[in-house]
Chain A
Amino acid sequence: MQSDQKGTTVSFSGVGLTDEDIYEAMKAIPGYIDITPGDFKEIYCLAYNHAVERFARSVSAGDIMVKPAFHVLPDTPLAEVAEILGTHGISGLPVVDADRKVLGVVSEKDILSQLGFKDTVSFMAIVTQCLRAGGCISVPVRAPTAGEIMVSPAITTSPETPLVELVKLLSENRINRLPVTDSEGRLLGILARSDIVNAASRSGTCPWNISGR
């Protein structure tokens, strides 16, 4: 969402409001309205930003998290972890103890680095490495468990955390998913970056509905 308050057009998510739109709207209302189209645009921009802000505060982690979340135990073998990730097309999952308390997070990246691909950031980086080397060296791997390679402690959040805070948590920690836990630290659900995009797109319609009086 962009709002350029100095230019002649203002573009919101999907709504481009022009001076002509405002002028035509003012013409449709009988009676003299003693504001300029510029005044209206300024008010509209501020009100729109306010509405977006309100939305981001009113939606919390509990509203948009996915549950139940896939999870593994610390003693789950790496092969099984990889299988779950692959089967469900996800890139990471929480590791919990018998009491469902979140101990850490294990992700694609952790598994790759375990296989000897250090400093790799993506699957394509590995493909590149293999192609350049003329083949993939199969490294003998001591099959570890989820508990041994997980990143711990995990960054988690509570169901009450508002959307604005979630976005901040994800981007500041450069992580892709947040386990949502109760006050005891037990896993309730999981929130991936894509879940936030989906929630935001549901709010993308113009929040404004003025019916003629």
Chain B
Amino acid sequence: MSMEYFRKMKGSSQSPPRVKLPEIAWSWVGSLLGIAAVGYLNDRYFEGTDLILIIGSFGASAVLIFGAIKSPLAQPPNLMGGHVLSALIGVSAYKVLAPHLWLAAAVGVATAIAVMHATKTLHPPGGATALIAVIGGEKIHNLGYLYALIPVAAGAAIMLVVALLINNIPKTRRYPEFWM
């Protein structure tokens, strides 16, 4: 058993092939426009208010919904469901476990992953969304459960619209693979 345990660490397959140049270009264009949309709206309308529209986990979502658009992890239910559920769990973890932020962070992220799995909405950036609810500072804490709506649901929805518009332009791409 122990030999098998260490043998598994050697890996058994290989990395998928590198994508072609047009794919790289469209990933760049899509994520540029997706993040630009959320970032511009944030700076234009939310600067100086108590609200924000952009959080770090959107950068991770951009990787998936513009860079790996076929991935089950990148599909609309995962993008929206994963972010919103994780936000609710992150805020709850903070409310219950503060001021032990390290514990709230760990419980929040782990629970978010479990719930995303159970609801078939696994979206890796959701883990970051849950974490940000705990360690994102005073401004995020003051939002309370509103955090799940703005910035999380609103920002993710804007990114989704950009992904639908941009990813379906080239003949070789289509998005999404499924809605439900």
Instruction: State the Cβ distance, A9 to closest chain B Cβ, in Å.
Output: 14
Q: Is B20 an interface residue (CB 8 A)?
A: yes
A34 adjacent to B16 (CB under 8 Å):
yes
Write out the residue numbers on chain A whose beta carbons fall within 8 Å of the beta carbon of B17: 23, 26-27
Residues of A within 8 A of B2 (CB): none
- In the complex, A27→B23 CA distance in Å? 12
Which residues B136-175 have CB closer than 8 A to chain A? 172-173
- A31 adjacent to B13 (CB under 8 Å): no
> What size tier do the contact residues of chain A reach?
10 to 19
Q: State A138–B123 Cα separation when bound (angstroms).
A: 84
* A144: Cβ under 8 A from any B Cβ: no
B69 and A35: CB pair below 8 A?
Answer: no
* Cβ–Cβ contact A30 & B14, under 8 A: no
- Contacts A30-B23, A31-B23 known; A23 to B14 CB distance under 8 Å? yes
B172's closest neighbor in chain A, by CB?
A30
Question: B15 at the A/B interface (Cβ < 8 Å)?
Answer: yes
Asked if A205 is at the interface (CB within 8 A of a chain B CB), the reply is no
Query: In the bound complex, how far is the Cα of B14 from the Cα of A38, in angstroms?
Result: 7
**Residue B68 interfacial (CB < 8 Å):** yes
Q: Bound state CA distance, A36 and B70, in angstroms?
A: 14
Establish whether residues A32 and B68, one from each chain, have CB atoms under 8 Å apart when the complex forms: yes
Report the bound CA distance from A11 to B40 in whole Å.
55
B48 at the interface (CB under 8 A from A): no
**Minimal Cβ-Cβ distance residue in B for A6:** B12
Closest-CB distance, A27 to chain B (whole angstroms): 4
| Contact indicator B173/A37 (Cβ below 8 Å) | no
Residue of B nearest to A35 (CB): B16
Determine the interface band of chain B, counting residues with CB < 8 A from chain A: 10 to 19
Within 8 Å CB of A23, what residues of B? 14, 17
A24-49 vs B, Cβ < 8 Å mask (1 yes, 0 no): 00110011111111110000000000
Across the interface, do B16 and A36 meet the contact criterion of CB distance under 8 Å? Answer: yes
Question: Does residue B71 face the partner (Cβ distance < 8 Å to A)?
Answer: yes
Contact (Cβ within 8 A) B14 A19: yes
Which B residues from 46 to 100 make CB contacts under 8 A with A? 67-71, 73
Instruction: Say whether, besides A31-B19, A31-B23, A31-B173, A37 and B68 are in contact (CB < 8 Å).
Output: no
B12: A residues at CB distance < 8 A: 38
A38/B173 in contact, CB under 8 A:
no
With most chain A CB atoms within 10 A of its CB, the pick from B14, B172, B173 is B14
From 1 to 51 in chain B, residues with beta carbon under 8 angstroms from any chain A beta carbon are 12-17, 19-20, 22-23
| Cβ-defined contact, B15 with A36, below 8 A | yes
Most buried by A among B71, B73, B173: B71
Minimal beta-carbon separation of B26 from chain A (angstroms): 9
Residues in B whose Cβ lies below 8 Å from that of A38? 12-14
A37 to B13, alpha carbons, bound, how many Å? Answer: 6
Chain B interface residues toward A at CB < 8 A: 12-17, 19-20, 22-23, 67-71, 73, 172-173
Closest 3 pairs (CB-CB, A-B):
A38-B13, A30-B172, A36-B13
- A-B contacts, 11 of them at CB < 8 A, read A23-B14, A26-B16, A30-B20, A31-B70, A32-B23, A32-B68, A33-B16, A34-B68, A34-B73, A37-B16, A38-B12
Interface residues of A (CB under 8 A from B): 19, 23, 26-27, 30-39
A37-B14, A37-B16 given; name 11 further pairs at CB < 8 Å.
Answer: A19-B14, A27-B17, A30-B172, A32-B16, A32-B68, A33-B16, A33-B70, A34-B16, A34-B70, A34-B71, A36-B15
